[in-house]
Structure 1
């Protein structure tokens, strides 16, 4: 691609960073578009596009759907990124971004990834391991040069995605968190709401048949110029139709289809391709060759032969069709799925055809009963290998997707259950009424096509919900033949970790509205993840944040998974995909809940989340402190003013957990928080630490990860504290902390750390006293580095597939079993490994 003048990129490095770190979607397509087909990229101006949209659709606000995860690196404009994040500067940059679009009358809708789909877990792991190697290079550079590496090694600060959600909400923006891979929900939202376009950096948006796709990396914020990537022009260049693009994407490899799956097929296409251009790169020629094969070979047999007869799918057939279906938005069908009547199994006059379930994004064989003229979905029993009709449960209100056979000639439309948010394809055979598309019920958009869940309004053409449930029920469970198309594994109805549908619905609403963090993931799937943190794998004196905060998460599990009466023995383990040194990420860590003691007993989630009595706020706070195992310090913490109450809670926990934290560290943490209150954004921009210390880098990231853990606990406990109290732009600045750390390490007086401000001195001693007193209750005496003995060096040891502590530098006693090995990569964690006794 080509650059635009005036882009706020702090030089040419910005686009290099974006392209290096945003390799998402279809393999090789980003480079191909930029080098081989530059005419696909058209410079456009958002202000002009918005004016045109308003004239074409009077009364409709031009709206851009923003894939926020693609934009994080663009938004993070501060020069310093190594010290833990320049959060005040970052918040200012976000505010400027929003203001620029608002000024020209453009509405922004921000989508964040809410979970990692199982289909894309391997790709997620691959990227995390690659990031680990980059982080090792970063720390090697810091130790060698004592300065921040160049922008070519840029790594986004820990917690950036989490805190960006809350920053945007603070700025009054509509911010949504996905229930599946965000790019699918972004593409769906853009299509269903007639949006101006999608702003992001993912070539999958060229594949989806949705609204126009604009590049964030090419955006010049001052002029609002950017580049539009046109899928129609891409198809014209490749001799394809838009409906062929999902097939091309899967054959080239994407986040679902491994790149090596069709490698031999691609080279076979290349060897027979007669128009190889010497000036094109290898990947460019492969894309042209595969496209040529689709247009000149596969098109000849389209509709006559099944796709698996034309492609070397082999044992990968299910995964391939799943990859294809992942690009089909609600209401869309693919011409490449087998649709001819010949060869289709009939059973009791039932016809099996194909349908795409937009929620599970898997292919579901469908059986049509010619008597009732209703479609009944089918799934495969992996044990018997028989086709089993899928039934809907009227109690759980879980619906299964429905569609007409492709030969029926009837239009496929969408109906969405506002409770379960699952999309159901309906045709209205009897009433002949069309059922309109319903948009995301949680987005609270005033759309005539959507039913809001709070008002229980019924959809046109869906006048009796209970009747529809009965119509979906299956009556013939015995199927003696398999569908030869067999496009995917069985479709499973979601089995959640929590059975209380009311509580689960509340958690889901908070999740979708980006008001919580990890809570719904734990309650629904029992699986969570945490990406890379700037941690030095060679520094054995500091444990990973994944281990330090694990006991807190374990207590949160016991709170959220309250259905399990005997937490220690019966409650299933939560699967944690946390990145830490030495973890190969082959399997998740299996972490069991940890019982906690709340004064007056642990309240239920219904009490914490639904009871609005004033005294309940006290119980919520008691529960939060119990998650940190700090119930005994309640009075001291309550005496602390905002926003330092949450910070003190976190510091007490850290210093109780990790013995290698010293008095100088405590001074630096408190001093930077106090000094931050009196500094302007411009003062923070101009601040320059003398040099970069690798331990301070790790401590900065450790504190920020603690703040994200606070978001989790506060969400789980019913929000006893204001989220703003522990947003990093209010209590943490990376460069400022680094400066205070270096001063404290050199032995500077507290007055110097506090910049000779007397009022801060009183607050400093008060906060220090609260932390030290609470630590003493746990027999943890915080000493200066000069008083350390040799045991504070800390040691790591290897045992089986995981790390364990061998020195006395972390905990006061070795009581309790740290964890039991359950085979490589499948460790179960039951006890509080890092807890001091």
Structure 2
């Protein structure tokens, strides 16, 4: 990220430009300066603009990261981090990347491929040693960038999602609002003529000390004006102008520099390169004949390279800056991709929700016609598990259909296609997968999107829920709305959708049991869970679930938000370490009572959810099978046999190898096999048992959240955890205190309006 080698040059060759500062004192000085200057910000608290993406790896300090994320602990970390600034009187404004501009796509792909290599090393380490690798191979949990903005908003923070490059919007906001600084880790913030750039990497949260990279001192050292920094940055290489494109310019500059400076001031090659290019830039603009508003004609550039250089320089120019006025960054804002398929009101709402970090996926689909998903912890050597991009592809197609196909007559003429840049094993990322929308499986016509998004009344609320559930082929679960927590309803939809793939009963039991047990766990208890070893397969399943939560979020946004977004957050239905422990227990044949922490209320709820899942799968011709896998504490790294072959001695059953099932990396298959499975409708089974478990008054008493209804069993938890039996006391109500567990199901009542 940023300018190649510039920050390293400053730290090694220009240490006077790297100033240690205290943010408390900096804030006091900022207030004093504002009051003396009678600026418009005099009455507002000193504001720090935070590059959220650059902070993710620093925020996620939880011990376990390969298991899918310790989300409740992470939420506590964020809360403490925010409180450290607010206690010092500093207001925080967060920005997150909302788009990847096409001029930076090549750099995005290059980074994704590099991370793919690191992910492969992670799985080789897990299979060799049965443990999480060290911090040198740290990879943030899947979905962290998706859910962190929601977490910060839940903490009362102001959060924005960018519609242009995030660093450009950060610098623009900081300059426009007279902010005290920008907190991030990107040397591009040295180039922007904006607020001071402060390092999050050097930040000590206890003292609020960090390093300020002073662009004025840098300019004095290298002999340039601040307005000349954008050209320097592009000649050195950045995300827009690659290092290779300007190599010949740097070589010429180095040759001239060495002739004029036989004894260079710096031994480091990078220091010499920065000084050589700086001297070149200074000499070009020192010539009278060169117009400073244009790229100097004396630069040895082809026409395409000159245009690229101009684009790179323009990317650093903020609104109302004088230099290079022929650059108009507003032209970088492209017209909506599918404006003829949606109303102006929908376009406006998409953008507003996106900017406020309140939506997910819909802006990329409707306004850009493209979505992307970064690396996920997936084992490229495991041919049994389908990559998450392919697992959720049918779901995305129905989301696209809900957004774009309303009012269509069913013809394929002028049918829009979404460009998907999804990272998964076997995808070379040379071009996007072109994915077409699909209508929902409901017999009625596609709904009017304006009605779903802006309509009122119980009928509209019921319609929103129906279309949300139909995206996951779980329409029957509408009867559970109001009977169980929204977070559990969402988890059941997700696990059922996954169950319609090829996972075993043990996998699904692990998913469901951890979602049920999580309600009664404190963050401290979750941290104290001990894993005897780490299973590579469980690691991938954990990431699969969290990626599924993001698809729930996208489906919820597309269907008009029938569920509150907080119900779809991972800290309400998933903990990586807890899931991992449940996975190991489920595959070891542990009794369900022990799997549910010997708590009768949790066991009752688990069995009810499990029965509902099994019944729904049966209607679609999917018979769940027990297929326990006994993981070993040490795995061989020799490639070849699949996980199932290594641990059971059996070859993969038909349909286990997703590559052999016909899934392609080019995205030409659209989940046909899943849809064909969904057409099979089995008869209703287990009606009597279902009525016994789900009927009014069935296990109502055991569902109540009061401590008197939690029955303790003498079973102790196996040695996957420390401390013997788990404490099954009630620990307060869930996130929205709706008392769901005190109510019998209300099948006949429609969902309430106003959701």
Question: Quick check: 1:288 aligned with 2:275?
Answer: yes
Could you tell me which residue of structure 2 aligns to residue 479 of structure 1?
none
Q: Deviations over 1:326-357 (max 9, x none)?
A: 000001132xx5xxxxxxxxxxxxxxxx5221
* TM-score between both structures, scaled by the size of structure 2: 0.82
Higher relative contact order (CA 8 A, sep 6+): 2
Aligned residues: 644
Could you tell me which residue of structure 2 aligns to residue 604 of structure 1?
448
* Correspondence 1:181-200 to 2 at 5 A: 181-200=165-184
Is 600-609 or 626-635 further displaced after alignment?
626-635
Question: Quick check: 1:575 aligned with 2:564?
Answer: no
**Which of 228, 242, 265 pairs up with 1:258?**
242
Could you tell me which residue of structure 2 aligns to residue 456 of structure 1?
none
Q: Deviations over 1:693-744 (max 9, x none)?
A: 0000000000000000001000111110111212111111001111111111
Aligned counterparts of 1:541 and 1:831: Cα–Cα separation in 2: 17
Could you tell me which residue of structure 2 aligns to residue 360 of structure 1?
331
**Which of 600, 614, 628 pairs up with 1:772?**
614
Could you tell me which residue of structure 2 aligns to residue 650 of structure 1?
494
SS where residue 245 of structure 2 aligns? helix
Q: Is the alpha carbon distance of 1:308 and 1:673 closer, same or farther for their aligned partners in structure 2, counting shifts above 3 Å? A: same
Could you tell me which residue of structure 2 aligns to residue 812 of structure 1?
none
SS where residue 44 of structure 1 aligns? strand
Residue 805 (structure 1) shift: 1.6
Q: Is the alpha carbon distance of 1:638 and 1:651 closer, same or farther for their aligned partners in structure 2, counting shifts above 3 Å? A: farther
Is 149-158 or 102-111 further displaced after alignment?
102-111
Residue 108 (structure 1) shift: 0.6
SS where residue 688 of structure 1 aligns? coil
Could you tell me which residue of structure 2 aligns to residue 418 of structure 1?
none
* Correspondence 1:222-233 to 2 at 5 A: 222-233=206-217
Tell me if structure 1 keeps the 8 A contact 2:181–2:196: yes
Q: Is the alpha carbon distance of 1:566 and 1:579 closer, same or farther for their aligned partners in structure 2, counting shifts above 3 Å? A: farther
Could you tell me which residue of structure 1 aligns to residue 570 of structure 2?
728
Gaps of 5+ in 2: 36-42, 630-643, 645-649, 679-755
SS where residue 103 of structure 2 aligns? helix
Aligned counterparts of 1:90 and 1:732: Cα–Cα separation in 2: 12
Q: Is the alpha carbon distance of 1:583 and 1:753 closer, same or farther for their aligned partners in structure 2, counting shifts above 3 Å? A: same
Aligned counterparts of 1:282 and 1:36: Cα–Cα separation in 2: 11
Aligned counterparts of 2:130 and 2:352: Cα–Cα separation in 1: 46
**Which of 505, 510, 525 pairs up with 2:348?**
505
Could you tell me which residue of structure 2 aligns to residue 737 of structure 1?
579
Q: Deviations over 1:656-696 (max 9, x none)?
A: 1x21x111112211221222222221222222211010000
Q: Deviations over 1:194-242 (max 9, x none)?
A: 0111110000000000011110011111111111111111111111000
Aligned counterparts of 2:597 and 2:671: Cα–Cα separation in 1: 44
Aligned counterparts of 1:333 and 1:119: Cα–Cα separation in 2: 24
Question: Quick check: 1:524 aligned with 2:367?
Answer: yes
Could you tell me which residue of structure 2 aligns to residue 475 of structure 1?
none
Residue 566 (structure 1) shift: 4.2
Aligned counterparts of 1:778 and 1:554: Cα–Cα separation in 2: 19
Aligned counterparts of 1:245 and 1:531: Cα–Cα separation in 2: 31
Aligned counterparts of 1:544 and 1:827: Cα–Cα separation in 2: 12
Could you tell me which residue of structure 2 aligns to residue 546 of structure 1?
389
Q: Is the alpha carbon distance of 1:617 and 1:84 closer, same or farther for their aligned partners in structure 2, counting shifts above 3 Å? A: same
Question: Quick check: 1:29 aligned with 2:6?
Answer: yes
Residue 503 (structure 1) shift: 1.1
Could you tell me which residue of structure 2 aligns to residue 303 of structure 1?
290
SS where residue 261 of structure 1 aligns? coil
Higher fraction of helix = 2
Residue 827 (structure 1) shift: 5.0
Q: Deviations over 1:58-110 (max 9, x none)?
A: 41211111110111011101011110001011100000111111111111111
Q: Is the alpha carbon distance of 1:573 and 1:631 closer, same or farther for their aligned partners in structure 2, counting shifts above 3 Å? A: same
**Which of 293, 301, 304 pairs up with 1:313?**
301
SS where residue 297 of structure 2 aligns? helix
Q: Is the alpha carbon distance of 1:172 and 1:537 closer, same or farther for their aligned partners in structure 2, counting shifts above 3 Å? A: same
Q: Is the alpha carbon distance of 1:360 and 1:730 closer, same or farther for their aligned partners in structure 2, counting shifts above 3 Å? A: same
Could you tell me which residue of structure 2 aligns to residue 622 of structure 1?
466
Aligned counterparts of 2:140 and 2:485: Cα–Cα separation in 1: 31
SS where residue 622 of structure 1 aligns? helix
Q: Is the alpha carbon distance of 1:557 and 1:493 closer, same or farther for their aligned partners in structure 2, counting shifts above 3 Å? A: closer
Aligned counterparts of 1:691 and 1:830: Cα–Cα separation in 2: 37
Q: Is the alpha carbon distance of 1:494 and 1:608 closer, same or farther for their aligned partners in structure 2, counting shifts above 3 Å? A: closer
Could you tell me which residue of structure 2 aligns to residue 50 of structure 1?
27
Gaps of 5+ in 1: 1-23, 338-353, 362-421, 423-491, 798-802, 807-817, 820-824
Aligned counterparts of 1:541 and 1:176: Cα–Cα separation in 2: 39
Q: Deviations over 1:139-187 (max 9, x none)?
A: 0111111100000100000000110011011111111111111000000
Q: Deviations over 1:217-276 (max 9, x none)?
A: 111111111111111111111110000000000001100001101112212211221446
Q: Is the alpha carbon distance of 1:685 and 1:76 closer, same or farther for their aligned partners in structure 2, counting shifts above 3 Å? A: same
SS where residue 515 of structure 1 aligns? coil
Tell me if structure 2 keeps the 8 A contact 1:69–1:112: yes
Could you tell me which residue of structure 1 aligns to residue 314 of structure 2?
325
**Which of 237, 243, 265 pairs up with 2:221?**
237
**Which of 357, 364, 369 pairs up with 1:514?**
357
SS where residue 307 of structure 1 aligns? coil
Could you tell me which residue of structure 2 aligns to residue 678 of structure 1?
520
Higher fraction of strand = 1
Tell me if structure 1 keeps the 8 A contact 2:398–2:438: yes
What's the C-alpha RMSD, in Å, of the aligned pairs? 2.1
Aligned counterparts of 2:428 and 2:54: Cα–Cα separation in 1: 26
Residue 829 (structure 1) shift: 4.8
Aligned counterparts of 2:144 and 2:467: Cα–Cα separation in 1: 27
Aligned counterparts of 2:68 and 2:267: Cα–Cα separation in 1: 42
Residue 790 (structure 1) shift: 5.0
Tell me if structure 1 keeps the 8 A contact 2:266–2:272: no
Residue 804 (structure 1) shift: 5.8
Could you tell me which residue of structure 2 aligns to residue 214 of structure 1?
198
Tell me if structure 1 keeps the 8 A contact 2:353–2:359: yes
